[in-house]
Structure 1
């Protein structure tokens, strides 16, 4: 039982006992219980008045300064080159017709009818992917099928890769199981920079520029 209702409940209890004593014919007990009931009721009222006065005396402190924290500065992270350009992905259940020009990496899982131009990035034709068009990039990895002209510094044909067309490269790697049919051209070596003005390192003579067709 809550303490704040103890006096009121006691008053009701003694008043009930007074009624029982009145019905029983005990006048002395009736007056006794009635007096105790009135006393308990008076105490309950007095306690309520004291609580109300006590609450009124509790006033909020005036003039107390509030603590305001300064805003925390947000430091923006400089995005990387890959984050700036993003990555292009052709999903396995997508057939895309059109040309793609991207500054980031390109991954082809589905079918692409068109050219891909990503000179400074990686293009990877995933297993099950297919491209019908020309490809220009820094590094090309083929694990699917490509029909067209491919120009890249590094070209790698994986176990499931099939390339039909023309390759222009500086480094070529064909893994066991990979197939290539067409012409291959070796790009000229990049001239190395030197510290002496007007002096350039001589590059080695170009190897065979043209590779005849290979029958599958």
Structure 2
């Protein structure tokens, strides 16, 4: 037994004996033992500071994360060609005065007084749409009305399409109900490269013919 707890154990022993003496009806002995227990307890408290009995509560620190990841850097994706050039739409209740140059598709529901240049994309004149001006594109679909010069690799005049002016095309399709009045010009075929330097494929001369097409 450690010495510092000897006085505490003595105090407990005297207190127990005092209770026994009180129970057997020996008051003088009980009081003497109780006084001895009190003296032993005071002696223990004097010899041992209070903080020995009541130890400070330990503070448990949370485990720190083993690895702290660096902030993630997001690399912006390079937009594709179609994302760079969005679609242009002229609504049915809109009238535009001026020219349009676009890298994407163009849909005309309303009215445009001006030229449209979208050489690598599609231009579609919707039913009820009107364009008074020149059109240059890769593919042209007309289901409305166009007055002017149209130049496209592929031209399609739909059931409600009306074209007045000049058509320059490589492929032309006119559906039943479509109408074309003006001059038609077949564009030369795309030049094909040959193995012999300086030798190019013969290109047919351009032709300009007055045409009137009204399909019923």
Contact 2:179 2:213 in 1 (8 A): no
Aligned to 1:154: 154
Contact 2:142 2:158 in 1 (8 A): yes
Aligned to 1:93: 93
Aligned to 1:80: 80
Task: Output one character per residue of 1:54-81: Cα deviation in whole Å (capped at 9) or x when no partner.
Answer: 9x82524178456422222323322221
Query: Which is further off, 67-76 or 95-104?
Result: 67-76
Deviation of 1:159 (Å): 1.0
Deviation of 1:152 (Å): 1.0
Deviation of 1:147 (Å): 0.8
Aligned to 2:209: 211
Q: Give ranges in structure 1 of 5+ residues lacking alignment.
A: 1-52
Give runs of aligned pairs for residues 5-154 of structure 1, distance below 5 A: 57=57, 59-61=59-61, 64=64, 67-154=67-154
- Alignment partners' CA distance in 2, 1:164 and 1:117: 18
Deviation of 1:196 (Å): 2.8
- Alignment partners' CA distance in 2, 1:95 and 1:157: 22
Deviation of 1:185 (Å): 1.1
- Alignment partners' CA distance in 1, 2:201 and 2:124: 33
What is the aligned-residue RMSD (CA, Å)?
A: 2.4
Task: Output one character per residue of 1:155-187: Cα deviation in whole Å (capped at 9) or x when no partner.
Answer: 110111111111111111111111111111111
TM-score (normalizing by structure 2): 0.67
Aligned to 2:8: none
Relative to structure 1, the CA distance from residue 69 to residue 210 in structure 2 (aligned partners, 3 Å threshold; closer, same or farther) is same
Q: How many residues align?
A: 161
- Alignment partners' CA distance in 1, 2:99 and 2:119: 14
TM-score (normalizing by structure 1): 0.67
Question: Structure 1 segments of 4 or more deviating over 6 A?
Answer: none
Deviation of 1:189 (Å): 1.6
Name which one, 1 or 2, has greater alpha-carbon Rg.
Answer: 2
